[in-house]
Amino acid sequence: MVAVLRGVVVVGPMMRRDVALVPDLSDEPARAGPVRSRRPVYVDLLPPCNAACQAGENIQSWLAEVEAGRHEQAWRQVLADNPFPAVEGRVCYHPCETSCNRAELDEAVSIHAVERFLGDRALEEGWELPAPATRSGKRVLVVGAGPSGLSAAYHLARAGHDVEIHDAGPEPGGMMRYGIPAYRLPRDVLDAELARITALGVRIVSGQRVTDLEAERHDGRFDAVFVAVGAQLSKRVDIPARDAGRILDAVSFLKEVAEGERPMLGRKVAVYGGGDTAMDAARTARRLGADEALVVYRRTRAQMPAHEEEVEEAEREGVRMNWLRTISGFEGTALVVEAMELDEHGVPHPTGRLERLEADSLILALGQDTDTGFLRSVPGVEFTHDGTVVVSPSMMTGAAGIFAGGDMVPAERTVTVGVGHGKKAARHISAWLAGGAVASGPKHDLAGFEKLHLWYFGDFARRAQPELAPDERVADFSEVVGGLGASEAAFEAARCLSCGNCFECDGCLGACPEDAVIKLGPGRRYRFDYDRCTGCAACFEQCPVHAIEMVPEPGTALEAR
């Protein structure tokens, strides 16, 4: 409801705005539009969730589809950017939620849970993608069947190219299969989403280790190459030990378990490292029967590279943390550790104080490197000091037609980053094959929390996903976290604030005292009648999502939007 009382426009129960009184000219002859110094315009800003998504998804758009009950349309919107919604909904560390403006109101929208719902619903319903409308006649080789290589292959295939993946592993998936335990990512879910890629015509050759890239490219008559070999070489450290057989590396350990092996660890297992792989190794050890799993890390909890939720989940399952300790030796059934202290710069230094911790086996989780030896002989390919590959903004190496991404290039090493690299590389590869370049348009301004007018939105608690109890979790490798139902997913999607983009709440329509806002119909939004608009800004000040901005009045009339 809008009323004009004593020069005050009242918009609903919570909005007041002082403006100059507009005289009643209803009996006056018609005249030109009002004189004003500014005017409202409709805008589309960049939602923080979209900006933070490392896979480049249009999150706000598909959440709106879910809210409206259009699940298949929402799923297809996700797949425009990401071929793995069921996987990503489980393993992504969802920086989109960290950036969500809703967290300033109550709690962030559970974006990952809604994405998982869509991925699982697609698998249940058997939704399929259409075959590419046209074929380019170009052939692209992808080296590595991890998240980045598979993502690139998917997008290249949808663009009409013939794609072949060569991978050294026995089965595709890379670290999604051999690094992420089944309690986080069930293998039937991974296999089902991989089948969608091969259904597009992508040929995956497993057990094919590439040693001579130029020969592989020449023999297969490939027009371009995308290299995305994962970081699967464990970093080592020399630890004096009476029995070196009791020391395992985390990557090999997790791979063995993923392949169905059950390594004998003993009752007490120590894990050396502070990353996500260390957390996975410790949690896996508990599921293999270890009564105690201890993580030893040389820095503090705040300095751990592991994501906080991974640390919390490990602790819930009985994993103990031992901060500010390094391992000096492994003597039979005991670790010798040295206490560390932080200096004024937060750097740990040894103290000389030694302790003994019981342990039957030790798992080293000190980071991973990529095997880039096969690229060393390729002319033009350059490397950074840590062995990763130098690429241009288009993801191309110094060798024409050879692109790289994922763990091979300097970046955070997660599934989502790899998926994003694959999509980006595919776009640039397609453009390069066509003899052009990807045109990058201007980015919209970010719709920060400070721009929103939250009078419109109420407080609604986030829907929680069901979880197994801690004692049930460590009994086997069953999935720990469950999914949302359709009604819960719709509720969660409805919590989206639609930051920066009109969702047709009719607030501007009801607020305008001059009837200068014209509703164009469902899905078509509104336009302004500038012959009526006085520039009072009532529409701007009540718009809950900042889809309206006030701009200086131009020297000439603008076409009504």
Could you tell me the residue ranges of all domains in the chain?
2-44+502-552, 52-129+457-494, 139-232+370-433, 265-365
Fold (topology level) of 139-232+370-433: FAD/NAD(P)-binding domain (3.50.50)
Domain 52-129+457-494 fold: Fumarate Reductase Iron-sulfur Protein; Chain B, domain 2 (1.10.1060)
- State residue 77's pLDDT score: 97
pLDDT at residue 32 in the model:
54
Residue 156 and residue 213: Cα distance in Å, rounded?
Answer: 20
3-state class of 551 per DSSP? strand
Contact 71, 77 (CB under 8 A): no
Inter-CA distances, 130 with 76, 133, 424, Å: 11, 8, 21
Low-confidence residues in the chain, pLDDT < 50: 1-31, 556-561
What are the distances in angstroms from CA 414 to CA 153, 175, 276, 408, 525? 18, 9, 10, 12, 38
Domain 139-232+370-433 in the same topology as domain 52-129+457-494? no
pLDDT score recorded for residue 561? 43
Alpha helix ranges (H) inside 288-405? 308-316
Residue 242 DSSP one-character state: S
Whole-number Cα distances in Å, 247 to 94, 243, 271: 33, 8, 10
Q: What is the CATH number of domain 2-44+502-552?
A: 3.30.70.20
Alpha helices in 83-131, H assignment, sequence order: 85-91, 95-99, 111-125
Radius of gyration of the chain (CA): 28
C-alpha to C-alpha distance for 157 and 313, rounded to whole angstroms: 38
Could you give the CA distance from residue 375 to residue 515 in angstroms, rounded to a whole number?
Answer: 66
pLDDT for position 13:
31
Which residue, 463, 489, 462, 482, is CA-closest to 70?
489
Please choose, from the candidates 326, 234, 314, the residue with its C-alpha nearest in 3D space to the C-alpha of residue 272. Answer: 326
Please state the pTM of the whole predicted model: 0.87
Q: Which residues contact residue 541 at a Cβ distance below 8 angstroms, ignoring those fewer than 6 apart?
A: 11, 15, 17, 453, 511
What pLDDT, on a 0 to 100 scale, did the predictor assign at position 6? 24
DSSP collapsed to 3 states, 30-49:
CCCCCCCCEEEEECCCECHH
Architecture field, domain 265-365: 3-Layer(bba) Sandwich (3.50)
Give the C-alpha distances (Å, rounded to integers) separating 27 from 6, 23, 31, 284: 21, 11, 12, 81
Residue 391: predicted pLDDT: 94
How far is Cα 429 from Cα 432, in angstroms, rounded to an integer? Answer: 5
Structure confidence at residue 36 (pLDDT): 83
